[in-house]
């Protein structure tokens, strides 16, 4: 299952995207300020709460980031290994492990945002936060990533399935990787050409009509939580 927007009626779905965006930034700031076992334990409860508020499970959201798991798991081992005595520094591995775990819970909160926020609302929130042409460029970039990254991933998966169906597993690994990579790049370029044509045909504008954003009473607790995380991070850093 990929990380894409899923229509639902959860608590996070009813929030203004600006509140959720503020919560993401505040959570990441607090996570970097409190990279300790105690701090990460408290922030884990917040991250799990965000996942549940989005109507998802930790397993579902974590599965969307499964490709990053090997890097997060291997990083502490690489950080601890040394050339020569004592061959492995437990303190270095422990600190890097905390950093990897910090990234994991930040990704959980980000996944909750993606699963509960339509692409148009995400773009509207970004352009509200960063007005002018820079915000529009960033908004368009985020919208295109959210819309086409799942499609590109689906192209790679379908190509891999086609290779396996044609007894591709009997070929060397490097040849299979080359076939999938070449086919994936070809499909990506094809999609890019069709996207450019579609944007031109629709007279693509830098100032499209985006949904109206409105704060509600449900956004109050989220904004307060995000503000508390930012204040806590500032106190810690200061």
Per-residue confidence (pLDDT) for residue 155, from 0 to 100: 73
Instruction: Let me know whether 112 and 28 are in one domain.
Output: yes
**What is the reported pTM?**
0.74
Instruction: Let me know whether 194 and 167 are in one domain.
Output: yes
4 within a domain of the structure (yes/no) = no
Instruction: Let me know whether 112 and 23 are in one domain.
Output: yes
Among 2, 17, 54, 5, smallest CA distance to 139 is for 17
Instruction: Let me know whether 137 and 228 are in one domain.
Output: no
For tokens 């408290």, name the residue.
42
Residue 233 has pLDDT above 80, yes or no: yes
What confidence tens digit (pLDDT) does each residue in 161-175 have?
877 777 767 777 777
Instruction: Let me know whether 52 and 81 are in one domain.
Output: yes
What confidence tens digit (pLDDT) does each residue in 89-109 have?
888 889 999 999 999 999 999
124 within a domain of the structure (yes/no) = no
Domain residues for the domain of 166 are: 133-201
Instruction: Let me know whether 105 and 217 are in one domain.
Output: yes
6 within a domain of the structure (yes/no) = no
Q: Please compute the mean of the pLDDT values over residues 196-209 and round it to a whole number.
A: 64
Per-residue confidence (pLDDT) for residue 44, from 0 to 100: 95
5 within a domain of the structure (yes/no) = no
Q: Which tokens sit at 81?
A: 């290994």
Residue 205 has pLDDT above 80, yes or no: no
CB 2 within 8 A of CB 11: no
Q: How many domains does the chain have?
A: 2
Instruction: Let me know whether 33 and 101 are in one domain.
Output: yes
Instruction: Let me know whether 228 and 151 are in one domain.
Output: no
Instruction: Let me know whether 28 and 85 are in one domain.
Output: yes
Instruction: Let me know whether 109 and 21 are in one domain.
Output: yes
Residue 1 forms beta bridges with which residues? none
Decide which of 238 and 105 is more confident: 105
Decide which of 3 and 123 is more confident: 123
Distances (CA, A) of 152 to 56, 78, 190: 24, 31, 11
10 within a domain of the structure (yes/no) = no
């Amino acid at each position: 299952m990929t990380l894409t927007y899923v229509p639902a009626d959860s608590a996070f779905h009813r929030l203004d995207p600006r509140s959720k965006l503020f919560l993401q930034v505040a959570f990441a700031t607090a996570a970097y300020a409190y990279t300790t076992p105690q701090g990460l334990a408290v922030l884990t409860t917040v991250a799990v709460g965000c996942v549940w508020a989005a109507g998802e499970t930790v397993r579902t959201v974590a599965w969307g980031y499964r490709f990053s798991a090997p890097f997060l798991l291997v990083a502490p081992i690489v950080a601890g290994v040394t050339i020569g005595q004592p061959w492995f520094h437990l303190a270095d591995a422990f600190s890097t492990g905390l950093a990897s775990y910090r990234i994991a819970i930040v990704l959980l909160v980000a996944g909750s945002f993606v699963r509960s926020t339509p692409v148009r609302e995400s773009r509207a929130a970004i352009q509200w936060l960063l007005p002018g042409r820079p915000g529009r460029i960033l908004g368009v970039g985020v919208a295109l990533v959210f819309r086409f990254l799942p499609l590109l991933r689906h192209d790679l998966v379908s190509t891999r399935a086609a290779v396996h169906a044609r007894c591709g597993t009997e070929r060397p690994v490097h040849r299979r990787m080359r076939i999938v990579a070449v086919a994936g790049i070809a499909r990506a370029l094809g999609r890019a050409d069709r996207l450019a044509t579609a944007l031109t045909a629709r007279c693509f504008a830098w100032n499209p009509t985006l949904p109206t954003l409105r704060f509600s009473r449900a956004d109050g607790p989220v904004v307060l939580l995000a503000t508390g995380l930012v204040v806590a991070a500032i106190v810690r850093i200061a």
